[in-house]
Structure 1
Amino acid sequence: MIDIEKASIRFRTKTGHVDAVRDVTLRVEEGEVFGLVGESGSGKSTLLRALAGLTPLSEGSMRIASHTDKRDVQMVFQDPYGSLHPRFTVDRTLRESLAINGIGDQDARILAALAEVGLGAAYRFRYPHQLSDGQRQRVSIARALIVEPRVLLLDEPTSALDVSMQAEILNLLRRLHAQRKLTMILVSHNLAVVGFLCQRVAVMKEGGIVEQLAIEAVRARDVRHEYTRRLLMATDGYSRESRTS
């Protein structure tokens, strides 16, 4: 479904340039949930934005299936408040996605989309400030899914949420993947989150991929690169702190 070949992304700065992504090659199969992990600044979110068409490549290529149109690839962003227009009701947010893509039967689709993410019709005419962070992220997911994409790009979709809300959103994404047979790429700094949802993972450091693993290898701590081991140790510490807090 997704084929990335020797992709590089370079940003100009006042003092020169920054290579945010360097010579990345990876493939994601149709229906697979693939994880990109790494610390802040590793290039994982930049790579995801390039897949969404929001950031241009400097070198290399990206291909998403064949015969796709723009609505086939949708993205859910990290900040559930910042990604929603503060003056749009939930109804208008979802309706705008349908209108842009020329999709009819809007009222029925809006109600179905809300139900699919666990929000009833009562939320339809609320504004973002009237929703919790978890509810806002559910609206963001509904906005992405309402146009019936084939690929869902998830940029740290749970990092702005508390632990209980994180679990709810991850369970929702797992259910949606099973029901819709979506291809997903999940960006996260937390290997525990990736381990819950993904089948394979690529570990990024300083713009490049240091290793790609099946998720079973991550769970078994069967990793080759020292950087991946450090990420696992950081995840273990986070998990223990969450359980005791």
Structure 2
Amino acid sequence: MIDVDALTVRFKTATGAVDAVRNASFHVAQGEVFGLVGESGSGKSTILRALSGLAPTAQGTMRIALPDGQAQKRGVQMVFQDPYGSLHPRFTVDQTLREPLRINGIGQHEERIVNALREVGLNASFRFRYPHQLSGGQRQRVAIARALIVEPHVLLLDEPTSALDVSVQAEILNLLKRLHHERNLTMILVSHNLAVVGFLCSRVAIMRNGEIVEELDIERIRAQQVDNDYSRSLLLATGGYQRKAIEAMGVDTSP
């Protein structure tokens, strides 16, 4: 579904050009959840922004094979890290969900809005609330509904739980896992939390200073079987992959 080959993302600064991502390559199969892990500033979120068309690419190629010729602006949607900054403060939930339908020329607004809210666990009473009337978890549910309302095939998740408290993180993770299975979504999840990545992802790429240093399946992460020294230090810094850490959040870990 997603093919990234030798991607370089370059930004101009006052002191010259900076390569935020260098020569990154990875592939994501249809229906797979792929993780990008690394410390802050390693280039994880920049890759997501490049895939969504929000960051410039200097070199390399990106290919997203959307079925049925679906346009990328509709077929690839992104959920941002900050639920407090990603929603327009003067838009009601109804306006927030109606706008992508209008932009993409999709009809049946009323039915789709109600269904989108129901799918993320919110009833119709939330339609005419403003963001300041919602909790952080409710805002993130609205952001997920906004991404899904246009029926994308690819969902890009930029640390979708990091700004939420622990109990709400569990709710959002369970929601994302359910939506992945129900819709057969292809997902890329960016996170610094290995427990979160291990709960959702089947494979992981570890990034450092704009480069992918190692790619491995989640079972090797759980067993702490890594080859790269930085990967090993990252596991040590985060206490490794601890299943009890994700269970302590109240997340359903059953298959």
Q: Identify whether the pair has TM-score above 0.5, normalized to the shorter chain.
A: yes
One of 89, 100, 103 as aligned partner of 1:100: 103
Matches within 5 A, 1:37-116: 37-66=37-66, 67-69=69-71, 70-116=73-119
Residue 51 of structure 1: how far off its partner (Å): 0.1
SS at the partner of 1:224? coil
Would you say the 8 A contact 1:191–1:231 is kept in 2? Answer: no
Matches within 5 A, 1:154-233: 154-233=157-236
Question: TM-score normalised to the size of structure 1?
Answer: 0.96
Aligned letter for 2:173?
L
Name the counterpart of 1:17. 17
Percent identity between the aligned chains? 70
Residue 241 of structure 1: how far off its partner (Å): 9.0
Residues 107-139 of structure 1, C-alpha deviations (whole Å, 9 max, x = no match) = 010000000000011111100000000000000
Name the counterpart of 1:117. 120
Residues 154-201 of structure 1, C-alpha deviations (whole Å, 9 max, x = no match) = 001000001111111011000000000000000011111100000100
Name the counterpart of 1:27. 27
Aligned letter for 1:227?
Y
Name the counterpart of 2:6. 6
CA RMSD of aligned residues (A): 1.7
Question: TM-score normalised to the size of structure 2?
Answer: 0.92
Aligned length: 244
2: distance between equivalents of 1:241 and 1:213?
21
2: distance between equivalents of 1:52 and 1:235?
29
2: distance between equivalents of 1:30 and 1:237?
28
Residue 238 of structure 1: how far off its partner (Å): 10
Aligned letter for 2:17?
H
1:236 matches 2:239 = yes
Aligned letter for 2:107?
G
2: distance between equivalents of 1:113 and 1:222?
40
Residue 234 of structure 1: how far off its partner (Å): 2.8
2: distance between equivalents of 1:55 and 1:216?
32
Would you say the 8 A contact 2:76–2:156 is kept in 1? Answer: yes
Gaps of 5+ in 2: 250-255
Would you say the 8 A contact 2:224–2:240 is kept in 1? Answer: no
Would you say the 8 A contact 1:152–1:184 is kept in 2? Answer: yes
SS at the partner of 2:100? helix
Name the counterpart of 1:127. 130
SS at the partner of 2:221? helix
